[in-house]
């Protein structure tokens, strides 16, 4: 009986351990799945941007807090030690002097009335920092939207190229079948038939490379955005927002791009910091309210209370750090001014450049579209001429290759035109989610 009981207990313990192990395995598996979940680079950079705004708000609160009064409480308590008198005055009545306890407690409230305008300038500088963080957030979103549009266009181009290679395989199969049929009829030679079969294998290899390129582009988009694209994705360039001239593009970029506003607020922030640094040369005046209590100051006095309202003034007579600090602040303000001018000029030049690139890409796209139409017409005519014996299979293969190259060039031209358009919008600072199709790209 005891053996059966022990066996039963062991089985129960084993089941309990197995259940506990399953629970642990499930828990750690869930954690592992959370760690392996898709992580969006888009959202990560937005979180980093929000941290910048949070820091600017904290600096503004700190600058505002300097205007408030400061309250301090202090006290001293006796842990040990003794008092010795020379000559010894405790000989006649030692008990009286033994009660003495020089402990103190006090409260002080101080409020700056004048500090050389340091607090005011620091507050203004903090406000400029908040404005800078706001425009930096807008600039970050412009960059993210542009990068997401580029990755989306990469996928669209890869899909268009794969479609072109799929069509090329079909055309090569048709050419190979035609060559075999005409070989039977002795219209073409054996070498031409073998050449058609070789071109078919070459088209199949190119098709595999296009599939790999499409998978790479889709993976890059998923890693960046954290979402997958549908089978049908279409994106239109918002031509209504595009400028009509290079001069208009430059003017809009210099007026609307967040980087110009960022540089402006950085310049203002540096100027206020320079004024605050110069304010250290001036005196500081504070209003002080103080209350203190001392215990057993003398054998005859057990407690002394002291309260007062004071005006405290400090004047810097010699402080070797004030001069270098003010010089550094003035130099930084001057550098920020130059940075703003440089950013304005650079954005104007970049806007002009992007406008010309878009104009050139648009013209090239129209030329390639016309070439593709002509190449398709040439292939259709070539088949009829081969049937009549006026052309060879090699001529058909060359015409088909021209069609494939035209389709690939068309995909590249669409990509270049769209990317240049979105870069132009981002340079002008007016790119948003609606411009790249919010619903179509699963934002």
Q: Is 106 part of any domain?
A: no
Q: Is 9 part of any domain?
A: no
* Separation between Cα atoms, residue 120 and residue 177, nearest integer Å: 86
Q: Is 284 part of any domain?
A: no
* Separation between Cα atoms, residue 394 and residue 307, nearest integer Å: 109
Sign of CA dihedral 146, 148, 154, 160: negative
* Separation between Cα atoms, residue 314 and residue 113, nearest integer Å: 12
User: Does the pLDDT at position 402 exceed 80?
Assistant: no
Work out the average pLDDT over 93-103: 63
Q: Is 91 part of any domain?
A: no
What is the average pLDDT score of the chain? 80
pLDDT in tens, 326-337: 999 999 999 999
pLDDT in tens, 119-133: 999 999 999 999 999
pLDDT in tens, 158-170: 998 888 888 888 8
Could you give the number of structural domains in the chain? 1
Work out the average pLDDT over 362-370: 85
Least confident of 201-205, 225-229, 256-260, 278-282: 225-229
Residue 248: what pLDDT?
93
Q: In angstroms, how far is CA 302 from the centroid of its own chain?
A: 66
Q: Is 417 part of any domain?
A: yes
User: Does the pLDDT at position 356 exceed 60?
Assistant: yes
* Separation between Cα atoms, residue 271 and residue 263, nearest integer Å: 12
DSSP output for 103-167: -EEEEEEEEEEESTTHHHHHHHHHHHHHHHHHHHHHHHHHHHHHHHHHHHHHHHHHHHHHHHHHH
Domain containing 213 — which CATH number?
A: 1.20.1600.10
Q: Is 312 part of any domain?
A: no
How many alpha carbons lie under 13 Å from residue 423 in its C-beta half-sphere? 21
Q: What is the pTM of this model?
A: 0.74
Question: Percent of the chain scored above 90 by pLDDT?
Answer: 31
User: Does the pLDDT at position 388 exceed 70?
Assistant: no
Work out the average pLDDT over 380-388: 66
User: Does the pLDDT at position 105 exceed 50?
Assistant: yes
Residue 169: what pLDDT?
83
pLDDT in tens, 59-82: 999 999 988 999 999 888 777 766
Q: Which domain holds residue 219?
A: 119-260+346-436
User: Does the pLDDT at position 440 exceed 80?
Assistant: no
Residue 374: what pLDDT?
77
Banded model confidence at residue 439, pLDDT cuts 50, 70, 90 = very low
pLDDT in tens, 234-293: 788 888 889 999 999 999 999 999 999 999 999 999 999 999 999 999 999 999 999 988
pLDDT in tens, 310-328: 998 999 899 899 999 999 9
Per-position b or e across 83-110, b if 16+ CB within 10 A of its CB: eeeeeeeeeeeeeebeebeeebebeeee
Residue 194: what pLDDT?
72
Q: Is 112 part of any domain?
A: no
pLDDT in tens, 8-47: 544 544 554 554 444 444 443 433 333 333 467 777 888 8
Residue 228: what pLDDT?
79
Banded model confidence at residue 100, pLDDT cuts 50, 70, 90 = low
Q: Is 297 part of any domain?
A: no
Residue 328: what pLDDT?
93
Length of the chain: 443
């Amino acid at each position: 009986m005891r053996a059966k009981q022990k066996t039963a207990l062991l089985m129960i313990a084993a089941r309990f351990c197995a259940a506990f192990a399953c629970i642990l395995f499930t828990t750690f598996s869930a954690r592992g799945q959370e760690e392996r979940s898709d992580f969006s680079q888009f959202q990560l950079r937005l979180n980093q941007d929000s941290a910048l705004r949070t820091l600017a708000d904290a600096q503004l609160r700190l600058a505002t807090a300097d205007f408030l009064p400061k309250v301090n409480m202090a006290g001293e308590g006796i842990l040990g030690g003794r008092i010795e008198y020379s000559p010894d005055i405790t000989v006649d009545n030692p008990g009286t002097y033994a009660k003495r306890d020089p402990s103190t407690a006090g409260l002080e409230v101080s409020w700056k009335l004048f500090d050389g305008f340091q607090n005011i300038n620091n507050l203004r500088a903090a406000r400029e920092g908040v404005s800078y963080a706001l425009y930096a957030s807008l600039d970050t979103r412009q960059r993210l939207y542009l990068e997401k549009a580029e990755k989306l266009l990469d996928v669209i181009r890869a899909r268009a190229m794969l479609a072109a290679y799929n069509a090329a395989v079909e055309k090569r199969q048709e050419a190979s079948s035609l060559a075999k049929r005409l070989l039977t009829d002795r219209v073409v030679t054996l070498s031409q038939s073998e050449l058609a079969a070789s071109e078919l294998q070459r088209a199949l290899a190119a098709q595999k490379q296009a599939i790999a390129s499409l998978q790479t582009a889709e993976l890059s988009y998923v890693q960046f955005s954290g979402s997958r694209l549908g089978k049908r994705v279409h994106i239109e360039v918002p031509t209504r927002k595009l400028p009509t001239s290079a001069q208009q593009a430059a003017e809009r970029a210099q007026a609307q791009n967040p980087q110009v506003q960022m540089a402006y607020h950085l310049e203002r922030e540096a100027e206020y910091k320079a004024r605050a640094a110069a304010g250290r040369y001036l005196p500081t005046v504070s209003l002080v309210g103080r209350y203190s209590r001392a215990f057993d100051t003398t054998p005859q006095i057990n407690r002394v209370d002291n309260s007062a309202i004071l005006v405290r003034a400090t004047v810097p007579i010699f402080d070797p750090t004030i001069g270098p600090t003010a010089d550094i602040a003035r130099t930084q303000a001057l550098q920020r001014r130059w940075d703003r001018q440089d950013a304005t000029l650079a954005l104007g030049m970049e806007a002009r450049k992007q406008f010309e690139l878009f104009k050139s890409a648009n013209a090239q796209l129209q030329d390639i579209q016309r070439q593709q139409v002509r190449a398709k017409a040439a292939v259709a005519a070539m088949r009829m001429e081969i049937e009549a014996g006026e052309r060879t299979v090699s001529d058909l293969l060359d015409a088909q290759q021209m069609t494939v190259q035209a389709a690939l060039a068309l995909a590249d031209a669409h990509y270049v035109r769209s990317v240049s358009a979105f870069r132009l919008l981002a340079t002008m600072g007016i790119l948003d989610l609606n411009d790249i199709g919010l619903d179509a790209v699963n934002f």
